[in-house]
């Protein structure tokens, strides 16, 4: 299946969470994991990738946390995929490092190239401010879900 990794899925949700808050708001990683139902260690690694790519920044200590490094209008879904997947390139023959011997003359390469351009252009148009605009129902669903998750769960089998 042609698709994104779970990391990219989670990264998009994490950035959406921050984009939904007041500009400049810092939150802790455990708080995001809880609200967005993401595993904390995984979230930490993803945050690392997004910081390296200049999408998020972190501040340590009291009042610290993570926030968007630039306005949500300037962060696209393509930015996220490039940061986490290492790129959106449908076929390896389109990458600079290891060109195919037939290169330019190859007809399928051109088709993979056009498909890559199309997908990249599409993902670049999706910025996080637009996603926030489409998000009110979603936020409510998350808050409700997070509240449910906090309630103690009665287990029939005692944990050893």
State how beta strands 56-59 and 65-68 pair: antiparallel
Piece of the chain touching other proteins by CB under 8 A; list 27-35, 53-61, 65-73, 80-88 = 80-88
Residue 57 or 135: which CB sits closer to other proteins? 135
Judge whether 52 and 83 are in contact, CB under 8 Å: yes
**Does 26 help bind other proteins (rule: CB under 8 A)?**
no
Piece of the chain touching other proteins by CB under 8 A; list 7-15, 25-33, 52-60, 62-70 = 7-15
Smallest gap from Cβ 152 to other proteins, in A, equals 20
**Does 126 help bind other proteins (rule: CB under 8 A)?**
yes
Straight-line distance from the first to the last Cα atom of the chain, in angstroms, rounded to the nearest whole number: 40
Contacts of residue 51, defined as CB under 8 A and 6 or more positions apart, other chains included, come to 57, 58, 66, 69
Judge whether 129 and 73 are in contact, CB under 8 Å: yes
Instruction: Count the site residues for other proteins by CB under 8 A.
Output: 48
Any bridge partners for residue 58, and if so which? 66
Burial class of 138 by CB neighbour count within 10 A (0 to 12, 13 to 18, 19+): middle
Contacts of residue 98, defined as CB under 8 A and 6 or more positions apart, other chains included, come to 92
Residue 59 or 111: which CB sits closer to other proteins? 111
Judged by CB under 8 A, which of 114, 129, 147, 149 binds other proteins?
Answer: 114
Piece of the chain touching other proteins by CB under 8 A; list 27-35, 43-51, 66-74, 78-86 = 78-86
Query: What residue ranges bind other proteins (CB under 8 A)?
Result: 1-4, 6, 8-9, 12-13, 16, 77, 81, 85-93, 101-102, 104-108, 110-112, 114-115, 118-119, 122-123, 126, 131-132, 134-135, 137-138, 140-142, 145
């Amino acid at each position: 299946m042609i698709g994104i990794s779970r990391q990219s899925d989670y990264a998009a949700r994490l950035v959406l969470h921050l984009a939904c808050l007041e500009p400049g708001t810092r939150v802790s990683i455990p708080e995001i994991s809880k609200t967005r139902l993401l595993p904390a260690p995984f979230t930490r690694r993803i945050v690392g990738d997004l910081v390296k790519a200049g999408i998020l920044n972190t501040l340590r200590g009291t009042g610290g946390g993570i926030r968007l490094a630039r306005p949500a209008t300037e962060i696209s879904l393509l930015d996220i995929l490039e940061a986490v997947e290492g790129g959106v390139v449908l076929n390896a023959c389109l990458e600079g490092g290891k060109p195919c011997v037939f290169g330019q003359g190859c007809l399928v390469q051109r088709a993979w190239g056009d498909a890559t351009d199309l997908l990249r252009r599409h993902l670049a148009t999706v910025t996080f401010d637009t996603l926030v605009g489409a998000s009110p129902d979603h936020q409510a669903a998350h808050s409700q879900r997070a509240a449910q998750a906090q309630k103690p769960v009665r287990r029939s089998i005692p944990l050893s």
